[in-house]
Structure 1
Amino acid sequence: MNVAEFLNKNTEKFPSKPAIGFKKKEEWTEISWSQFRTIVFKTANALRNAGISSGDNVAIYSDNSAEWIILDLAILSVGAVTVPIYSTNNLEQAEYILNETACKMILVGNQEQYDAAFEILNKNKILQQIIVAKKAIWIKKESSQYLEDLIEDEDENFELVSKEDEDLATIIYTSGTTGVPKGVMLSHGNFHQSVDAHFSFFKFKNFENETSLAFLPLTHIFERSWTLLALSGGAKVYFLENTKLIAHALSEIKPTIMCAVPRFYQKIYASVNETANTSSSTKKNIFKWALKTGTEVAELKRLDKKIPLLLKFKNKIAGTLVFDKIKNKMGGKLWFMPCGGASVSAEVTQLFEAMGIHITVGYGLTETTATLTCFSTHHFEHGSAGIPIGDTEIKIGENDEILAKGRGIMKGYYKKPIETAEVFTEDGWFKTGDLGKFDAAGNLIITDRIKDLMKTSNGKYITPQPIENLLSNDNYINQVMVVAEGKPYVTALIIPNFEALQELISKMNIPFTNWSEMVNSDKIKQFYDEKIDEIQKKLSGFEKVKKFVLMSAEFEIGSGEITPTLKIKRNVVMKKYAEIIDKMYNS
């Protein structure tokens, strides 16, 4: 069955219910399931009339938008294959993907993307047409057309092209922390498995009443699979185009469910703790009491036990005094939030559970259609990655590598049979490249990436993620990259939380000049020295960061230093800042 079949199912069930929401002239607008299907089907007819047929590859090179999901579903409807390109990819990266996949058509979202696509079109003999999402973009008329004009006179009736489980649905290029990007081939069956597994695992009630906010890039498998799941279940999904406006969007939309990466939760955790620690003794005691109360309730819920009436009453007061204020900054209605992309510490998930927001920590890869394992709503274990869902099988292979089987595993890497063979064992297990183990209750514990595991010159093994999480859980630290491979001791590149640091500088009466000077100030260095020593108290001696450098600017997606899901590309950063790193060992 075609992945886009939910358009027919939900239009029949909820014809006038809102399906998606988006900003139009600075106001949030919604369209119903009937309207949504009509636009998708008109787009599908336009694609077919433009020469796109079953099996063809069509690219989307855009930030999140209603147009993104409309074209994605239209591509799937005609039986073609969606090839997402990260909106932050430059011309060379986009060209590599378009050349390898031989896309005939591409949707672009902004002027920079259009200009890059137009240049590629004039060099590439396969790309034939550029579709432009917004009329605010200036276009050259040759082989270019606005989406609105493309579909204007098209028929709204369309019969979905029938698809088997094995038929290709999308080719997603891994942003990759190392090496050349590879096109992960995911089928219609992979997506069906993902949707079915989640609904079977969580047993949601009245899911059609939920509201989700898509703010992670739809190009990434995490947001893409979650958004398709939400729409499949009849939930309303809003699309945020400018991620810098996430705080405003949360208060305006008031989502009930939403996926996010660990950094999102860490920032809130750090901010809450910093506010509590710098408050008056009375407020600090109220926060401690509220946290203790909320944690007691969360623990009983986790164990699926009855909550005493008095504790319920105390928790209501805790909500009024503390937690509701924090939750209201996130819209006030969030209760279920999948978390993936990297590890997140138990302290973070425990705080959110105490507030009444369930973070369902999961583990998966692009190659596994996202989720392999995750927290249930009960009997999960903080600090773990949960248990397998659906028909997923997990075992620990050689050198503690996590191996997986199931209907969610990719077909392979596009046009890369050698690389595909390398990630599968002889008996068909997918090699994740991650280290892990099971606890006594069957929860998967992720240790680290095999490629990230470091060995010091003294023979000690360092797993960087737990150390980096420990440090970045602090409000004054935004990003961290640990260095240790082949070195005598552990060092780190640390990017401060510049907003928090600005306030600190003001309190310390240090005249602000620029960040390059500030991070080299003796007073600021001493502040971070003391803070890092305190944070690392419980680490073994060989794990502790002995030296660090405060960076004057954040690692950026555009410069290739981090992935779109905010994971640091270690090889890129190591090469770019080699001189700075060397100084920590030679001074």
Structure 2
Amino acid sequence: MGELKTMVQYFYNTCSNFPQRPAQRFNKELFDDNNGMFTYAELKERVEDIACALMKIGFPYKGRAAIMAPTNYMWTQVDIAIACAGGVSITIYPTLSDSEVTYIMKDSKCTVMFVGNKEELDQVNRIWKQLKNLKTVIVMDIAFKGDNKKVYGIKDFIAMGREWRKSPANYKKYNKRKDSITLDDWFTILYTSGTTGLGKGVIITHWTASSRLEGTVNYFQKYDFDVNENDVTLCYLPLSHVFDRGSCQWLALTKGSLICYADKPATLIEDMQKYNPTWINCVPRLYEKIYITMQQAMAESSLKKKLFDWAVSVGMQALEYRKDSNGCYNMHPKFDLKSRLPLGLKIKYAIADKLFAKVRGLFGNRFHHSFSASAAISPDLLKFYYALGIAVVEGYGSTESFNAAVLNPITACKPGCMGKEANGSKCRVAADGELELSGAGIFKGYLNKPKETKEAFTKDGWFKTGDVVELTPDGYIKFIERKKGIICTSIGKNVAPAKLENLFSTSSWVEQIFLVGDEKPFITALIVPNFANFMALFKREGIVYDESKLVYENIGGMQICTKVGDDFINNKRLQELIDNDVKEANKKLEKFEEIKRYTILNQRFTESNGMITPTQKAKRRVIIHVYKDVIEKMYE
């Protein structure tokens, strides 16, 4: 591992090495700022303007500033600026409720808060009286005008910082503060998603973040796969979460790569074709939705489906020539698959690959890999993408490990496994199967929670992840389930919900599934249908339902149906297709794991109804409480 630097030093080194290289690109129609692009030299100027504005309003060294905004170019600029001002950033999902935001702001004692728009300012105004430490709010909207006392628009805030740093004495103060930051200083505080209660503030120092970054760079170099100034990444996941912020945003900032920003999650495919990224971070649900969409498109034509199925079968045959004796696949961009194929298969593959090229084109024309994390991805789904020539590298990390501590080698990807210890981390498995981590990237502790901090580490200093895993003979780590998530039935059997949930990940008909069975004789499930897919089916088949009962909600920039009428879920065609999915899943399970009974729900689990976190994880206590009577009825 190279010599560690603070995150501020990494940023300034990149600006010095690549001043005229593009740093950020975004939709200028949505954001009227600098014609939709910043070079690293321009980014440095913007960051210094914001950092100096913070100093102008009295933001102290080691002060705390919150960011509550959707992912966009300004989020990145503010993130860097807070660090350069010697501060600590606290990230807040813009979808959190008033009570959740209040808790984080009180717990972190932030004096400054950046919000994305007027709507988020309105939320802060509703709770401001409860926030005794909050002095200033900055709205990250170029068009917004504040009173420039307690509330600033970002344009005026930037101008104020630019004016302040024109003074040589002031700029000297800024540089002195910037240069005094050490590796032991706090860089950011990230709050866990809180599936079983309020989240905990995870303290990340500059050492924590930089050691993980250096480890990630070493991973790329080890496999002749280095990220550099010619690379392009596309940022679309929430920057409030560690995944995209660490291994997308900050990796790019460290290496001089270009960061592009999707307009919104709903336009990701269009944005990938517009910006042509070389790599992105993704979550399994995206791959699942692309797969389901392809399957539905092919099903509309028997000829198309027959051709596609043939091509995939050829791709699967060719995939065997990427596989080693341990069942691992070499997905390195430089791997020459065609030269390894026998003549007959090579001819068929050349035809099939013309179809695959169209699918790969969805990701742009320079794409060479993506990382998948935040949840397990189906092994069969991974192999499907591998057969199409799309490298999806699965990994594992947590907020407390500041990104991936486990990663598949790109030359030996093993479907069904999270990978091997990577990026400077050390891994071991405790006697009860819990994964423990040490080395690079491990957090300092939980804010204001000494008891929880002590409980999170072993006596010899290893972080207890709370995840149960298996170690394969060839050193790969396989995720089983969250320790607290394992269902213990009344007949003494342990069931891992993740295994069952994965069986429905590529279903066209089941959108969400929640497993129940703790201290019960068998497993039951709450199932949320894919309302959109059933609407399309009902339209094709002339099935009528009460459309006045449909409820829509804006999720990720898309109008999503979140509730339907009882007549919709009681439709025999819907029940038949969901029942088929359940029966097919049960065929792949042990008897004690089988879903014996289930209830189809007419409402989706959403953040707004409090049933899932911003990272789309189920809030078990909430769901069990809301559907207590429904659950009990399944056991009568």
Does residue 248 (structure 1) correspond to residue 270 (structure 2)? The answer is yes
Cα distance in 1 for residues equivalent to 2:255 and 2:86: 22
Q: What secondary structure does 1:207 align onto?
A: coil
Residue 550 of structure 1 aligns with which residue?
600
Cα distance in 2 for residues equivalent to 1:134 and 1:401: 45
Residue 351 of structure 2 aligns with which residue?
317
Residue 202 of structure 2 aligns with which residue?
184
Cα distance in 1 for residues equivalent to 2:147 and 2:158: 19
Return the offset for 1:401. 0.9
Distance 1:351 1:162, change over 3 A: farther
Task: Identify the match of residue 629 of structure 2 among 572, 579, 587.
Answer: 579
Distance 1:20 1:315, change over 3 A: farther
Return the offset for 1:574. 1.3
Cα distance in 2 for residues equivalent to 1:308 and 1:113: 53
Q: What secondary structure does 1:24 align onto?
A: coil
Q: Deviations over 1:518-542 (max 9, x none)?
A: 1122332122112321233221222
Does residue 386 (structure 1) correspond to residue 416 (structure 2)? The answer is no
Does residue 152 (structure 1) correspond to residue 159 (structure 2)? The answer is yes
Q: What secondary structure does 1:399 align onto?
A: coil
Distance 1:243 1:380, change over 3 A: closer
Cα distance in 2 for residues equivalent to 1:238 and 1:166: 31
Does residue 377 (structure 1) correspond to residue 410 (structure 2)? The answer is yes
Cα distance in 2 for residues equivalent to 1:577 and 1:214: 36
Residue 69 of structure 2 aligns with which residue?
62
Task: Identify the match of residue 199 of structure 1 among 208, 217, 221.
Answer: 217
Kept in 1: contact 2:118–2:139 (CA 8 A): no
Task: Identify the match of residue 12 of structure 2 among 8, 12, 35.
Answer: 8
Cα distance in 2 for residues equivalent to 1:547 and 1:138: 56
Q: What secondary structure does 2:10 align onto?
A: helix
Cα distance in 1 for residues equivalent to 2:289 and 2:393: 17
Cα distance in 2 for residues equivalent to 1:429 and 1:475: 41
Q: What secondary structure does 1:290 align onto?
A: helix
User: AA paired with 1:272?
Assistant: M
Q: What secondary structure does 2:273 align onto?
A: helix
Distance 1:241 1:418, change over 3 A: farther
Does residue 367 (structure 1) correspond to residue 400 (structure 2)? The answer is yes
Residue 265 of structure 1 aligns with which residue?
287
Structure-to-structure mapping, 1:275-290, within 5 angstroms: 275-276=297-298, 279-280=301-302, 282-290=303-311
User: AA paired with 2:337?
Assistant: I
Kept in 2: contact 1:40–1:73 (CA 8 A): yes
Cα distance in 2 for residues equivalent to 1:383 and 1:279: 32
Task: Identify the match of residue 179 of structure 2 among 161, 167, 175.
Answer: 161
Task: Provide structure 2 residue ranges, at least 5 long, that are not aligned to the other structure.
Answer: 325-329, 548-563
Task: Identify the match of residue 100 of structure 1 among 95, 107, 125.
Answer: 107
Residue 307 of structure 1 aligns with which residue?
337
Distance 1:382 1:335, change over 3 A: same
Cα distance in 2 for residues equivalent to 1:318 and 1:5: 48
Of stretches 301-310 and 371-380 in structure 1, the one that deviates more from structure 2 is 301-310
Task: Identify the match of residue 126 of structure 1 among 133, 150, 157.
Answer: 133
Cα distance in 1 for residues equivalent to 2:111 and 2:607: 27
User: AA paired with 2:361?
Assistant: N
Return the offset for 1:193. 1.4
Does residue 83 (structure 1) correspond to residue 101 (structure 2)? The answer is no
Distance 1:278 1:455, change over 3 A: farther
Task: Identify the match of residue 616 of structure 2 among 551, 554, 566.
Answer: 566
Cα distance in 1 for residues equivalent to 2:309 and 2:192: 42
Q: Deviations over 1:507-556 (max 9, x none)?
A: 33211324222112233212211232123322122212122222223211
Distance 1:295 1:201, change over 3 A: farther
Does residue 428 (structure 1) correspond to residue 461 (structure 2)? The answer is yes
Kept in 2: contact 1:293–1:318 (CA 8 A): yes
Cα distance in 2 for residues equivalent to 1:384 and 1:302: 15
Q: What secondary structure does 1:208 align onto?
A: coil
Does residue 110 (structure 1) correspond to residue 160 (structure 2)? The answer is no
Of stretches 149-158 and 513-522 in structure 1, the one that deviates more from structure 2 is 149-158
Cα distance in 2 for residues equivalent to 1:140 and 1:584: 57
Residue 554 of structure 2 aligns with which residue?
none
Residue 553 of structure 2 aligns with which residue?
none
TM-score (norm 1): 0.94
Residue 408 of structure 1 aligns with which residue?
441
Distance 1:32 1:81, change over 3 A: same
Cα distance in 2 for residues equivalent to 1:125 and 1:471: 47
Does residue 224 (structure 1) correspond to residue 245 (structure 2)? The answer is yes
Cα distance in 2 for residues equivalent to 1:23 and 1:435: 42
Return the offset for 1:256. 2.2
Task: Identify the match of residue 41 of structure 1 among 48, 56, 70.
Answer: 48
Return the offset for 1:217. 0.6
Return the offset for 1:299. 4.4
Kept in 1: contact 2:217–2:227 (CA 8 A): no
Of stretches 156-165 and 515-524 in structure 1, the one that deviates more from structure 2 is 156-165
User: AA paired with 2:153?
Assistant: Y
Cα distance in 2 for residues equivalent to 1:142 and 1:207: 42
Return the offset for 1:205. 3.7
Return the offset for 1:3. 0.2
Return the offset for 1:465. 0.6
Distance 1:162 1:558, change over 3 A: farther
Distance 1:578 1:370, change over 3 A: same
Of stretches 489-498 and 288-297 in structure 1, the one that deviates more from structure 2 is 288-297
Cα distance in 1 for residues equivalent to 2:86 and 2:350: 51
Q: How many residues align?
A: 584
Residue 440 of structure 1 aligns with which residue?
473
Of stretches 78-87 and 252-261 in structure 1, the one that deviates more from structure 2 is 252-261
Distance 1:123 1:436, change over 3 A: closer
Kept in 2: contact 1:258–1:337 (CA 8 A): yes
Distance 1:316 1:4, change over 3 A: farther
Return the offset for 1:118. 2.7
Kept in 2: contact 1:121–1:128 (CA 8 A): no
Return the offset for 1:138. 6.7
Residue 351 of structure 1 aligns with which residue?
384
Q: Deviations over 1:206-235 (max 9, x none)?
A: 632222111111011111102111221111
Sequence identity percentage: 31
Kept in 1: contact 2:235–2:244 (CA 8 A): yes
Q: Deviations over 1:359-386 (max 9, x none)?
A: 1111111001121101111122111000
Return the offset for 1:432. 0.6
Kept in 2: contact 1:335–1:356 (CA 8 A): no
Does residue 330 (structure 1) correspond to residue 363 (structure 2)? The answer is yes
Q: CA RMSD in A?
A: 2.1
Kept in 2: contact 1:16–1:33 (CA 8 A): yes
Task: Identify the match of residue 484 of structure 2 among 442, 451, 454.
Answer: 451
Q: Deviations over 1:232-283 (max 9, x none)?
A: 1111112235323323323322322111111111112233334445641x43
Task: Identify the match of residue 342 of structure 1 among 371, 375, 388.
Answer: 375
Kept in 2: contact 1:457–1:488 (CA 8 A): yes
Residue 37 of structure 2 aligns with which residue?
30
Residue 474 of structure 1 aligns with which residue?
507
User: AA paired with 1:211?
Assistant: V
User: AA paired with 1:482?
Assistant: L
Kept in 2: contact 1:495–1:550 (CA 8 A): yes
Q: Deviations over 1:82-131 (max 9, x none)?
A: 00111111222111111111111000012231012234333433111001
Q: What secondary structure does 2:357 align onto?
A: helix
Task: Provide structure 1 residue ranges, at least 5 long, that are not aligned to the other structure.
Answer: none
